[in-house]
Structure 1
Amino acid sequence: MNLALKDTLHAPTRFALTTLGIAFLVMAVIGMTGLYRGIVEDALLIIDRIDADLWVVQGKRAGPFAEGSAVAADMDRRVEGVPGVADVRRFTQFSQQFSFAGAPRRATVTGVDVPRDNGHWLSLAEGRWLGGSRYEAVADASTGLKVDDRIQLARDVYTIVGLTRHMVDSAGDGLLFVGINDAAVIARRRTSEEIHLARAAGTGAGAVSADASSVAQDSKISAVLVRLDPAADTARVIATLQRWGDVRVMTTGEQRDLMLNARLWKLRLQILTFTGMILLITAIVVSLIVYTMTLEKLHVIALLKLMGARESVVVRLIGQQAALIGIAGYALAVVLAWMIFPFFPRRVVMLPPDLAQIALALAIVCTVAAWVGIARASQVEAREVLS
């Protein structure tokens, strides 16, 4: 006879409620971990997929994602002439507010160098990639747009020709891909009053100060993406570009490291802290539950000892009950997570290694909880059954 199972079936409602409570705590841990994984994947999406060996950005800046960056409009032609460079593409990205169907929408406009960039790194869910025509866009489904929808950006109307899925930035805004020239026009949008004031302010311009940038102020190109020849010496190419003085050259690995260990560092610490707090609360709750169940069975434990039962019988009873609570709570948490998290506004990525680590942490929690109950049960003596 399995005493732990028999005792559990004796009070199924209490066991079900206990399991449900533990499941929600574990689901919170899964959600926090999955939310972080989702944010990291979204933040590294462009860096990992766009197929670039080097990123040429504004000098002494960490652009284009962690910090603002602007390079000369003809920087791609300068980079193209460097030995070892196979091809170059211009790139820019910025947030944009627009209206559609009478409601405000927000997207991250991503300018790609069509036709140099043929979109081979992008997985389309519907429609096609950008052609050579102007005023076309590929949008992520999270923006609420569909193929053939028309939206106004700056003073022009763009037609949605393709859709992607799960293509968002680190803030959760859907990506909206347009040609690089269209992106520059959208970024330079200004009202008539702004243009008039800018012209008036420029009429009395004096000598250029020492702090003036060599980049034209109307340049909206954030970076130039470089693919190297297979036989190229990466270090030599970087050294050649760095000697120009007005650019900074970063590898894809450096862009990833900058995003993870600079821009997302505080977020990682916050999520780790909250995850640790939830695990601590789970340990306290499970320990209290097991301890309470042990207190309720002190008379039974004393009777078992009076009948000559070994200490191992009591240990198995309490240990198996803690294990049943942990296993049932974890299984229910995973099921609930798969059912609920797809409806979250941010993507929650549940990776098998993370689920395995959470299961291991819960196993340790249940072991500690069982030890608390066993420690109390070991103090019970057989004569207490007469009291």
Structure 2
Amino acid sequence: MNLAWKDIRFNPGRFLLTALGVAFLMTAVIGMTGLYRGIVEDALLIVDRIEADLWVVQGDRAGPFAEGSAIASTMDRRVEGVPGVAGVRRFTQFSQQFSFEGRSGRATVTGLDVPKDDGSWIPLIAGRHLGASRYEALADLSTGLTLGDQVRLGLDHYTIVGVTRQMVDMGGDGLLFVSINDAMSIARRRTSEEVLLARAANQTVAAQVGERSSVAQDSKIAAVLVTLDPAADPAKVAEAIGRWGDARVLSGADQRDLLLNARLWKLRIQILAFTILLLAITCIVVSLIIYTMTIEKLHQIAMLKLIGARNSVIAAMIGQQAGAIGLTGFLLALVVSSVLFRFFPRRIVLNPTDLALLGLVLALICAVASGVGIARTLKVNAREVLS
């Protein structure tokens, strides 16, 4: 006879409510870890897919993602002459507000060096990649733009020739890919008020600022992407470029490290803290419920001991109840997560490894919770059945 199953059948409502409470707590934990995984994937999206061996950014800066970067517009031609370099591409990225059909939107404009880079590394769900060097764009679905739409950016109109999905930055804004020339044109666009203010500014101060920098003040190029020859030594190429003084060379691994351990470090700590807090609450809730269920059965437990039931049989009943609550709650959490998180505005990544680890943690929580109830049952004396 399975005593745990008998007890669950005797009061199924309480068991289901308990499992549902555990399910919602675990759904929150899964959501927190999935949100972090999603933010990391969004942050590393460009770095992982654009296939660049080296990133040449502004000297003494950690750009273009972890920190702002602006390099000379001729940097690509200088880098191209370095021995071991097979190809170079200019790159820029910035946020941009736009209006479309009476509503305002926000996108992260990403400049691709067409025709060297037509965006063929970008997965499309409709349309084609960039074929012209001007006035064409690829848009993520989250921007609200679809194939064939014409959107005004800066002073010009751009036709959406391709649509992608889940191509966003770490802030959740959809990516809008245009040619590098179009991106610079959009970034340089100024209102009439800005022009008047610039004319009224102190030209002497502006000249002094320009003399201290090798980068033109209107430069909008954030980085140069380098493709190396197969036989080239990345360290020697990076050393040769780094000696110029106005440029810093980062590898793909460097970019990942800067994003994860610098830009997203505080976010990682915050999510870890909230996850630990939710798991601690889950442990307390399950322990209280198991202890309460045990207290309610003290008379029955004393009866079992009176008729000769061993402590191991009673302990197994408590452990099986805790395990059933944990397993049912975890399965419900997986179902709720798979249904609910697809409607979230940010990407929630359900990593199988994370889910397995959370399942093991919940199993440990249930073991601790059952230990609280088992400790109480060991104190029960068979004579208490007469009280």
| Match in the other structure for 2:174 | 174
The TM-score normalised by the length of structure 2 is 0.98
Amino acid at match of 1:263: R
Amino acid at match of 2:12: P
| Distance change (3 Å), C-alpha of 1:18 and 1:206 | closer
Instruction: Work out the number of aligned pairs and report it.
Output: 387
Paired residue secondary structure (1:125): strand
8 Å contact kept, 2:112–2:118: no
Amino acid at match of 1:123: P
Alpha-carbon offset, residue 204 of structure 1? 5.3
Q: Does 1:365 align with 2:351?
A: no
The TM-score normalised by the length of structure 1 is 0.98
| Match in the other structure for 2:76 | 76
Q: Which aligned pairs between 1:1-387 and structure 2 lie closer than 5 A?
A: 1-201=1-201, 208=208, 212-387=212-387
| Distance change (3 Å), C-alpha of 1:49 and 1:210 | closer
**Separation in 2 of the partners of 1:45 and 1:285?**
39
| Distance change (3 Å), C-alpha of 1:204 and 1:253 | closer
**Separation in 2 of the partners of 1:171 and 1:22?**
31
Alpha-carbon offset, residue 121 of structure 1? 1.5
Paired residue secondary structure (1:208): helix
Alpha-carbon offset, residue 74 of structure 1? 1.0
Alpha-carbon offset, residue 207 of structure 1? 6.3
| Distance change (3 Å), C-alpha of 1:318 and 1:142 | same
Alpha-carbon offset, residue 212 of structure 1? 1.9
Amino acid at match of 1:298: L
Amino acid at match of 1:120: S
Alpha-carbon offset, residue 198 of structure 1? 1.8
**Separation in 1 of the partners of 2:61 and 2:303?**
75
Alpha-carbon offset, residue 41 of structure 1? 0.2
Q: Percent identity?
A: 68
**Separation in 1 of the partners of 2:171 and 2:79?**
31
**Separation in 1 of the partners of 2:126 and 2:132?**
19
Q: Deviations over 1:173-218 (max 9, x none)?
A: 0000000000001011101232233234365568636972110011
Task: Tell me whether 194-203 or 69-78 shows the greater mean CA deviation.
Answer: 194-203
**Separation in 2 of the partners of 1:227 and 1:251?**
11
- Give runs of ≥4 in structure 1 deviating > 4 Å: 202-207
**Separation in 2 of the partners of 1:190 and 1:299?**
81
| Distance change (3 Å), C-alpha of 1:206 and 1:143 | closer
Paired residue secondary structure (2:227): strand
Paired residue secondary structure (1:21): helix
* Gaps in structure 2 of 5+ consecutive residues: none
Amino acid at match of 1:257: D
**Separation in 2 of the partners of 1:140 and 1:232?**
36
CA RMSD of aligned residues (A): 1.3
**Separation in 1 of the partners of 2:380 and 2:304?**
11
**Separation in 1 of the partners of 2:332 and 2:268?**
27
Task: Tell me whether 50-59 or 192-201 shows the greater mean CA deviation.
Answer: 192-201
Q: Deviations over 1:337-369 (max 9, x none)?
A: 000000001000001100000000000000000
Amino acid at match of 1:262: A
| Distance change (3 Å), C-alpha of 1:133 and 1:181 | closer
**Separation in 1 of the partners of 2:333 and 2:69?**
44
Alpha-carbon offset, residue 134 of structure 1? 1.0
